[in-house]
Amino acid sequence: MWETTYRGIYSNEKLDKYDIDLNENKFKDIIKQQSQKLFVVLNDSQIIGYVSCGKIMRPFNKYTHDIGLLYLSKEYQGKGIGLNLFQSV
């Protein structure tokens, strides 16, 4: 999802150096945190998107909770799935 979502937004160098193992550990940390939730969207058994939310990790104004991550595979964008994820959390 990183590749298809951010190619053209982030530099090719950053995307080409994407560390899957490092980011896998970041997701595992999110899952372990009591104050964070990670929801995954499946089509059959394939992950097509995800959203994380919970207690705000970086203080901002008076807010106490935020959406940390929101990704959706390119082929599923524009179908209202991302909006449903956003509104659900």
- Please name the amino acid found at residue 50: Y
Per-residue pLDDT of 21-56, as tens digits, reads 888 888 888 888 888 888 999 999 999 999 989 888
Per-residue pLDDT of 49-60, as tens digits, reads 999 898 887 778
Q: If you average pLDDT over residues 65-86, what whole number do you get? A: 90
Domains and CATH numbers, the chain: 2-88 (3.40.630.30)
pTM for the predicted model, two decimal places: 0.75
